[in-house]
């Protein structure tokens, strides 16, 4: 009659022992290397493990990737609003790719992306370790493009990528053709799927914006929800023209 409680207590002691050992090891690491270095090291170990599992995860992504949620649409709307507000908060029109996707030209390995988000391009620019838990969700969703169905600001509209490319068939007049076709849009915006952390209060998204022959960028934005509103807390620019 007393065997089960005894076994449960034994299991509890073992679990407590492992937890206590982990806390002690963590405390020693923090003491020896400092919290920032320890945090980066733990994140790197986690992402190394995820990279090994990525071949399986990428195949499972088509099943696991959910349809866009209200939260994901909220992030898309936040980013679109940011790109349509010019100086003094004036609203400027843009064309938006209706397909949320991680563009093939931007795709890098999970490990390299983890290093980029966690550590940044250099110590001077710094990384955003707080976004680490949103990265796996981003990678899974990135396997399945989705349609963006949000209300756009005034004079902005959706434009498929093929239509955008068609405007540049005559390279010399490309941006003039684009402006005429879109009714004066100042640029073309492409968004990725959005990765969230477990609590849904941090988000990771990749954005590309083209606005001229020497005007544009690709950037990962790290966002945080504060008092019910999304705010940008970090960014990692991958290219600028």
How confident is the model over 75-110, as pLDDT tens digits? 999 999 999 987 777 899 999 999 999 988 888 888
- Say if residues 97 and 209 touch (Cβ distance below 8 Å): no
Nearest in space to 203 (alpha carbons), one of 170, 180, 229: 229
> For residue range 107-130, what is the model confidence (pLDDT) as tens digits?
888 888 888 887 776 665 667 776
The strand pair at 215-226 and 195-196 is best described as: unpaired
CA–CA separation, 217 and 205 (whole Å): 14
**Low-confidence winner among 19-23, 86-90, 154-158 (lowest mean pLDDT):** 19-23
pLDDT at 3 over 90: no
Find out whether 154 and 146 touch, Cβ atoms under 8 Å. no
Q: What is the pTM of this model?
A: 0.73
67 neighbors 147 (Cβ within 8 angstroms): no
- pLDDT given at position 108: 86
Assign 3-state DSSP to the chain and report helix, strand, coil percentages, each to 5. 50, 20, 30
- Give the per-residue pLDDT at 2: 47
Which pLDDT does position 44 carry in this prediction? 59
Structure confidence at residue 45 (pLDDT)? 60
pLDDT at 29: 52
Residues 6+ apart with CB under 8 A from 168: 174, 177, 178
Q: pLDDT tens-digit profile of 126-145?
A: 677 767 778 888 988 988 89
Q: pLDDT value at position 15?
A: 55
- As a whole number of Å, the end-to-end CA separation of the chain is 74
What pLDDT score does 94 carry? 97
């Amino acid at each position: 009659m007393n065997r089960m409680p005894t076994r449960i207590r034994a299991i509890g002691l073992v679990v407590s022992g492992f937890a206590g050992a982990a806390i002690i090891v963590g405390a020693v690491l923090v003491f020896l290397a400092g919290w920032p270095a320890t945090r980066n090291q733990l994140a790197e170990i986690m992402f190394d493990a995820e990279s090994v599992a990525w071949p399986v995860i990428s195949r499972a992504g088509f099943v696991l990737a959910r349809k866009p949620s209200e939260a994901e649409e909220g992030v898309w709307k936040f980013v679109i609003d940011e790109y349509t507000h010019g100086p003094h908060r004036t609203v400027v029109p843009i064309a938006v790719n209706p397909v949320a996707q991680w563009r093939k030209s931007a795709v890098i390995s999970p490990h390299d992306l983890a290093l980029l988000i966690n550590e940044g391009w250099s110590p001077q620019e710094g990384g955003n370790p707080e976004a680490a838990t949103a990265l796996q969700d981003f990678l899974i969703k990135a396997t399945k493009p989705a349609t963006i169905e949000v209300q756009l600001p005034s004079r902005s509209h959706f434009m498929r990528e093929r239509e955008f490319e068609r405007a540049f068939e005559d390279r010399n007049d490309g941006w003039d053709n684009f402006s005429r076709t879109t009714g004066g849009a100042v640029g073309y915006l492409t968004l990725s799927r959005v990765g969230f952390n477990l609590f849904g209060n941090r988000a990771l998204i990749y954005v590309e914006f083209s606005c001229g022959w020497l005007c544009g960028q690709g950037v990962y934005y790290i966002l945080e929800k504060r008092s019910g509103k999304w705010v940008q807390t970090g960014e990692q620019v991958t290219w600028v023209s």
